Each structure stands twice: as C-alpha cells, then as structure tokens.
Amino acid sequence: MIVGIPKETFLGEKRVAATPETIEKLIKLGFEVHVEPGAGIEANINDEAYLKSGAQIVSNISGSDIFLKVRAPSPAEIEKLKPGSTLISFIWPAQNPALLKLLCNKKINTIAMDSVPRISRAQKLDALSSMANIAGYRAVIEAAHHFGRFFTGQITAAGKVPPAQVFVIGAGVAGLSAIGTATSLGAIVKANDTRPEVADQVKSMGGSFVNVKVQESGSSQTGYAVIMSEEYQKAQRVVFAKQISEADIVITTALIPGRPAPKLITTEMVQSMKPGSVIVDLASEQGGNCELTVPGEVIKKHGVTLIGYTDLPSRLAKQSSQLYGTNLFRFLEEMCAQKNGVIHHNMNDEVIRGATVTFSGEITWPAPAVAISAKASEAKPEASTKEAHKKTEEKANPFVFIIAALLLLLVGLYAPAIFVTQITVFILACLIGYMVVWNVTASLHTPLMSVTNAISSIIIVGALLQTSSEDFWIQILSGFAVLLTSINLFGGFAVTKRMLDMFKKGS
Amino acid sequence: MTQNLTSMIYLGSAVLFVLSLLGLNHPDTARRGNFYGMIGMAMALAATLWAAGVTNWIMILAALLVGAVIGLFAAKKVKTTQLPELVALMHSLVGLAAVLVGLSSFLDLTKVLVGAEKTIHDVEVYIGIMVGAVTFSGSLIAFGKLLGSISGSPLLLPARHWLNLSVLVGIAILGYQFLNVDHDQALLYLFAMIVLSLFLGIHMVMAIGGADMPVVVSMLNSYSGWAASATGFMLNNHLLIIVGALVGSSGAILSSIMCKAMNRKFLHVIAGGFGTDTKKASTNPSQVLAGETTAISSLETAELLKDAKSVMIIPGYGMAVAQAQHTVFEISQILSNAGVNVRYAIHPVAGRMPGHMNVLLAEAKVPYDQVFEMEEINEDFKNVDVAIIIGANDIVNPAALDDPSSPIAGMPVLEVWKAKTSIVMKRSMASGYAGVDNPLFYKDNNRMLFGDAKTKLDEILQALKANL
C-alpha cells in the first residue's frame, strides 16, 4: 500500500507527519511512501533527505491508500483524499463534528491520534503525550525568552541573583515536562494538580508539590482530570493566589477533556505578580487558564507577559515531527502485524477501535470506554487494614503469660529437682539464643545455619559417654552416632569457614 | 577429673558458642565467631573424653577419624550452589544421631530411676527420639527436593491435615502405652513411634512447595536443635540443653524471618499445600494482563548498561542454577570501572535458603558493601537507570502489591519497575515457583532477555569488553 505524506496547509504549521527516520521504518513494514514536494521544508527536512530514506517525491499524492497528517484536514484537503483510503491524523472529533461528517461522506476510514485510548499498551502510540512533552519544554523556553533574568540563582562579583520561582499548574505530561525543563535551568519549581497521586511524579522531576487541603481526588477512570467541587475550587483559589503572587513564571496546563479550560488565574492574581513576570498558558487553545490570555498571541498586561501560543509543538518542528512520525509508525505497525505493507483495520482491537472515528461510511466516535486506573482507589483500604493487622500482632497476649506461669508452677510443684534445673537452663538458653540471633545480619543467614548445624553436633558428647557402656548394642548405636555427628561437626565448621572466607569488603 | 570441673569446662564452651553466634552480627567478626565455635566444640570434646568412664578409645577414635574425613571432604567439594542440599543433609545426620543416642539411653539399664524421675526420663527419651526421627526423614526429603530428585511441587494427599493430626494423636497414644508397660514391651512401642515419626517428617516436607524451601530448611535447622536439647534433658547434660536451645531458637527465628519475607503464616507453610489455590489467579478485570512483552538482545542490554549511571542487579535462584555469579561480578566490575554505580539488591527469600544469594555473591568476590537488603534499597529504585533481574520472578512481582486477589498479595517485593528500565533474564515465559503470572513482564519499561542466564551474561560481558 502507498502511504502519502502531504504538506501541511494550516497557517503557520511547521510540522510534518513523517521524517526520513520514520519513513525508513515504514518501508521496512512493506509500505511504499509518497511525499509531497516541500512537505518537510518548515521542519528543516528537505526533499533530498526524504529521497535518501527511500521515499518518492510525488507532486500529486491523491492516489495514496493511507494518508498521514498532523493537523485535521481542511475541506479542500479532504477533497483530495481517495475514497476508501485511511487517514491518520489529529482530528479532535468532539470539536469538529462537521469534519467527521465530511470524512464520513467521502468514505474515509479516519483514525484520530488524539483519541487513542490511554492504556499502557498504547503508550507508544500516544501522540498527545509526545506533543505535550514538547509543549511543556517549549513553554519554559518561551518563558525564559520573555523573562528578563536568569533562571538559576548565582552569586557573582557583580552581585547576587536570586533563582527564578516557577509555578506549574497541572502536572500532566506537559506540566511534568515543564517542571523538568525549568528545574534543569536552575529555577525553583512548585506545582499543583487536582490529582493527589501525581505528587510523587512532581517530586521525581525535581519540583515540590503544593497541596490544596481539601479531601477530594480529581482523577477519573480514564486517567484524566475531572471538574472539582465548589468547595475545592475555593480552597484552590486561595492557594493559587499565594503561589502566583510569589512566582516569577507561571505555566498553566490545566485541561479537562472536551470542555473549555478552567479559568484558574484571575485578573487580580495577574496584578499581584511582580512586573516582568511571565505566564505561559498552554490551555489557550481551549480558552486559556488565565482570564487575560489571548489565544495565539503574546500580550503584556499589568506588567506581566502573557504567552498564549497555540502552536508550541510546531515551534519545535523537527523534534515534534520526529516524535509524532514515530507514533504514526507505531500505529501502522499495530495495524500491519504481518509486515507485508497491507493494513488490517481490526475493529476488535481496543486501541484501533478507540482511535477510529469514521469507518466504512459510518461515524464511530465516541468509542466505548476503556477503564484504566482503578488500582489507585483499591490499594488504599488494603494498606490500612494491613496496618491494623500489624497493631493486633504487636499486642502481647496476656494468656500466653498466664499459661506459661501455670506451667512453671506445675513444674515447681511436682517435678524432681534435677528437672527444675534443666528447665531453668533451657529457658534461659532459649532467651539468649533469641536475643543473639535477631542481631545476626541477613547476609550471614546461610553461615548462621551452617554454624548452628555444626554446633548442634554437640550431641556427640552424649554419644561419647554412651560408648563406654557394657551393652554391645549400645556400643554399636552410640559408635554410629559418634560417626554421624563427627561428619557434621567437622563438615559443618569447615563449610562455614569456607563461606565466611568468601565474604570480603570492597576496596 | 571431677564432675564440677567438667561442668565448668562445659560452661566455658557454652559461652564460646554464644560468642560464636554473636560474631555473626557482622561479616568482619564472623570468622572469629566460627573460630570460637570450633574452640568451644574442642573443649567440650576434650572434657568429655577426659572425664572418667570413657573406655572405648579405639572405636571412638576410628569413628571420629572417619567422620572427620567424610565431613571435611564434603565441605571442600561442595559447590556453593549446593549449600542448601549439604545443610539439609547435615540436619538429617543430627536427627539420626538424636534417635540413636535416645535409643541407647533407653537401652541402658545401669541407671535405675523410679517414680516421677523415671516418668520424666522416659518422656524425654520418647520426645527426643520423636523429634530426631522427624528431623531425619524431613531433612532427607528436603535434601531430595533441593537436589531435584524429588519433585519440588507439593504432594497433596487428600485430608492431609487430618492425616497429620491422627499421626500426632497416634504418637501420643503410643507414648502413653510406652510409659505404662515393662521395658521390653516399651521397646516395641518405641519402634512403632519411630515409624510414625519418620512418616510424619516425610509427609510434612513432601507437602511443602519449592518456593517455601527457605522456611523448611530453617525449620529443620530448628528441629535439629530441639532434638539436641531433648537429648540433653534425657542425659541430664546442661551443655546439650543450652546448645540445643541456641540452635533451636536460631532456626525458629530464621523461619519466622523467612515467613515474614513472604508474608506467610508459619503454620500455613508447615501445613503445606502452597500453590494449590493459585490457579484461579486474578479475576479482577482491571488486572487482566495485557499480553505483550518486549524482548531485548544481549547486545542491546550491554548498550543500556553501558549508558546507565546506576545499575541494580537482582539475583535469583536462576543465577544460582546457571552458576552465573562470576560472570555477573565481572560485568559489574567492568561497569564500576567505567564509573557506573553498580549495586546488588537481595530479597530475603531469593534462592532456596536464607542468605543463599549473599553466599553466592561472596563466592564470586562481590564486596559485601555493594550488596543491599530489600529494605535498605527498595526506596532507591526510582534513581536506578537499569535494574537487571537474573532468574528471579516472584520476588519482583508487582501483583504482590497491586492485586489483592493475587496469591502472593502482601508479600514485600523488590520494586524494580520503578527503575527507568528493568530487564528480566529468564529461560522462558514460565511462571515462578508460586505459579503466579507476573505483570512486570508486560510493563512498558520492562524488557525480556530470554535464554540461559550464563550464556546471555557471557554475551553481555563480551559486548561490554569490546565497547569499554
């Protein structure tokens, strides 16, 4: 089958759906690849590089069987697609019902890269994460560009420079990427998210997690955030007002799928910021997290620069194209298990089914839901029962003491003196053994076993005393016992010594 | 020599035994500890031989000499991977010796006891022989299982708990009879009891699965101590009582540590049958395993290791079987020299005996300060670039933490999946001893390196040598 790579026509779009690296892999899968002239020019990939990777430069790629695109196609672009062909692209079906209709009428099988289900198997196809990662990185770079100071704190001959304070709202892929980038530039990064379980991820990227102290979890079955209660939102506003007034740079990434972005930053909050501060609003395409954001533009209000770019991934065109192209390749790999250059559109596969939005003349969006992160909620009650369990274990049982005392009384009343001494010795020895052995280091447990085994051949003492008996059978039995225990005695100590000689400290 | 002098020498040797165990607190002092043990034993032997009454010198010396030759030879020849077998076999010797000494003591008619003293002595004989016999037959079965000549999977007779119980009741009834008949008849009851005890030992260990072997070995260790202690009661010898108690409690503590490491109840392990209810596995829909693993080659593994800053090696029984510890050490040395931080993480029940992995690594001359216990290191996995798991399965199974319906739920495991990449070296996709599937294999940051551990590690070593 022929895979067609058109040049993106959306204004300002610099990305392209395939790079020479991904084309080589597609060809290995058995596909033929046709690239429109100049398709990669904005991402710094010239036609020659495509040719070298084995693609053909074809001026009219309408005859392709599979189209790989970045932006959702315009009506003019849809015109050029071959009926019955497969289109893989970002589509945003929820926002573009008309587009679905057009594709459907044209009998295009459409796979929306933004609708790939979020299950672990599909992570390699997750183009949203790839793009979010880039957007997060680029957001920090854009902020640094507009911010008049260093990110890292320095003490120089010319004076002291404080480190930049960065506050990141929303710790999804973009947020985490922004945290990591800002940290590595030397900034002090704080972050908040409605989903408390991401706190560890924030820490792992070098940021510190700011809590909103209301008990409510904002994660849903699909792993994305949900809308929070009024009470929570109030508490959140208080926390944000404080954090934002202290921050030099605020990066917001709060998005709830299929809804306008929540307005988290009010005009007053912007006014509370120091002049020269920067806000990067990654949610600007969905209206922005900040009231003042103008989508697609950089403006200055109240001395604060508000960056509302909607094309951050496109601003890192080569990187985005490479990652997105790889996601597309992975998808085709899923559909072409036989590596024969023919795709099999298997609607029973939950990943393929989930991403398919139009199929054989029908709209197949939205797909039935797939649940993923049910685990987190289950784990907690289990942990608490475990703790309760531990507590009951640690409590000493009074009955044990009572029974032990009774037994000792019985022995004292009825047993002969000799037995009383024996039991005294025995119990004290057990106690000593108990104390001593708990201190043995775990790495020496095997030597412990072999040395205790060796000293348990002390039974030889008994056997030796018996050998002097007059009775023939006792002599035989005890002689044999001496033999057995002496094997154990010598062997046990020798093997322990051999083991212990192997333990040595590193230089 | 007076009785009191002998007693004091015995006391001295008992103290030396305690010191010997104390020495095992730290690898640095452990060798001295072993030496104390030898001195203690030598003193006890000398005092006993010197004591009045020992006459049969030729037989004693011959037995000692033959025993010493066999013991030293075995200790020298045994491979470190076969230590569990050797230890199990040695436990059986102590058990058998306890039976023999008990019988001799019973047959000895020179000491005439009456009343409560006689009853107590007879009970001591009876219990000493019983514990000895159980230790003997149980250890032999454990030896066979470890050697592989007896199947590692648990043998589950129907109504096995009732069987055990009725054998115990039978032993008790025989014991009652034994106390109340004359000497010759009592001997018959004694033999009947020995047969039952031998059966009990066999049946008990047969019903325990291979994964529980560390518990079994330490439990038998404990029994051999109790057997010695019971013999001490019988012979009224304090040294035997003390040493038996030391060994017995040591084994009991080890068993308890091992059980805790597997989140199992000691009684459940002893009652046997682990692995029977695992087949139903997890029915929780969110836990159904997405059946796709990512394989990796030795060369790619070498690349990953070379580029890593921090590498964690998790050895398991598979490494022991493949005798791969030396290759592992060579790899870790090459990496260390290239500036990679290489550490080893040991799960308490890795292998077939407590501390088994530590001994293997020590044999390969891995410095013990690079080797860490699970509790010390589990927090650190998130800073690890590559965690390489050599022939281990259940001890790195995330289901133990995530999946309450898993048979190993609640068992502490090494959290290798928190490392950037984990590599599992395995012969095939077969499940571990616990018979549980392992979701680790399907994680996105996990890679599978299939094949014999030794061969694959050698390939990695060659690749690293060529590259570094």
For the stretch A89-134, pLDDT in tens is 999 888 888 898 999 898 999 999 988 887 767 777 888 888 998 9
Residues in B closer than 8 angstroms to A471, CB to CB, are 107-109
User: pLDDT digits over B141-178, tens only?
Assistant: 989 888 877 776 777 777 777 888 888 899 999 998 88
The residue type found at A289 is N
Share of chain A above pLDDT 70, in %: 90
pLDDT at A484 over 70: yes
Alpha-carbon distance A258 to nearest alpha carbon in chain B (angstroms): 25
How many CB pairs (< 8 A) connect A and B?
A: 391
pLDDT at A258 over 70: no
Integer Cα distance of A445 and B261 in angstroms: 14
Which positions of B are annotated as active-site residues? 394
Confidence of residue B278 (pLDDT cuts 50, 70, 90): very low
DSSP H stretches of helix in B207-275: 213-235, 238-261, 266-271
Q: Say if strands A304-307 and A298-301 run parallel, antiparallel, or are unpaired.
A: antiparallel
Confidence of residue A447 (pLDDT cuts 50, 70, 90): confident
pLDDT at A46 over 90: yes
User: Is A414 in Cβ contact with B363 (below 8 Å)?
Assistant: no
Alpha-carbon distance B319 to nearest alpha carbon in chain A (angstroms): 17
Find residues 263-322 of chain A whose CB sits inside 8 Å of chain B. Answer: none
DSSP element (H, E) containing A159: strand A159-161
Residues in B closer than 8 angstroms to A422, CB to CB, are 232-233, 236, 238, 241
Instruction: Determine the angle formed by the axes of helices B356-363 and A472-502, rounding to 10 degrees.
Output: 60
Picking from B186, B136, B194, B143, the residue whose alpha carbon sits closest to that of residue B167 is: B194
pLDDT at A507 over 80: no
pLDDT at A273 over 80: yes
User: Is B218 in Cβ contact with A498 (below 8 Å)?
Assistant: no
Residue in chain B closest to A200 (alpha carbons) equals B382
Confidence of residue B291 (pLDDT cuts 50, 70, 90): low
User: Is B37 in Cβ contact with A496 (below 8 Å)?
Assistant: yes
Find residues 43-102 of chain A whose CB sits inside 8 Å of chain B. Answer: none
Q: Which residues, in sequence order, are CB contacts of B17 under 8 Å at separation 6+?
A: A455, B36, B37, B40, B242, B243, B246
Lowest average pLDDT, out of A381-385, B26-30, B244-248, goes to: A381-385
pLDDT at B60 over 90: no
User: Is A455 in Cβ contact with B41 (below 8 Å)?
Assistant: yes
pLDDT at A445 over 90: no
Backbone angles phi, psi at A233, to 5 degrees: -60, -35
Provide the whole-model pTM.
Answer: 0.54
pLDDT at B285 over 60: no
Lowest average pLDDT, out of A148-162, B107-121, B415-429, goes to: B107-121
Is A507 touching B (CB cutoff 8 A)? yes
User: pLDDT digits over A136-189, tens only?
Assistant: 999 999 999 999 898 988 888 888 888 899 999 998 889 988 998 898 888 999
Residue A266 pLDDT? 92
Is A485 touching B (CB cutoff 8 A)? yes
B101 contacts A480 by C-beta, under 8 angstroms = no
Residue A219 pLDDT? 60
Share of chain B above pLDDT 90, in %: 22
Residue A376 pLDDT? 38
Out of A114, A126, A281, A311, the active site residue is A126
Residue in chain A closest to B11 (alpha carbons) equals A425
Picking from B201, B79, B189, the residue whose alpha carbon sits closest to that of residue B133 is: B201
Is A309 assigned a catalytic role? no
Distance from chain centroid for Cα A435: 44
Integer Cα distance of A129 and A124 in angstroms: 9
Residue A183 pLDDT? 87
Lowest average pLDDT, out of A226-230, B254-258, B342-346, goes to: A226-230
Query: Can you read off the two tokens belonging to residue A482?
Result: 């001496």
Name the residue with higher pLDDT: B348 or B230: B230
Residue B275 pLDDT? 40
Q: Which of A451, A458, A488 sits opposite B34 (nearest CB)?
A: A451
Residue A501 Cα distances to A270, A444, A496, A497, B359, angstroms? 69, 12, 8, 6, 10
User: Is A426 in Cβ contact with B249 (below 8 Å)?
Assistant: no
Is A221 assigned a catalytic role? no
Confidence of residue A205 (pLDDT cuts 50, 70, 90): confident
User: Is A462 in Cβ contact with B41 (below 8 Å)?
Assistant: no
Is A184 assigned a catalytic role? no
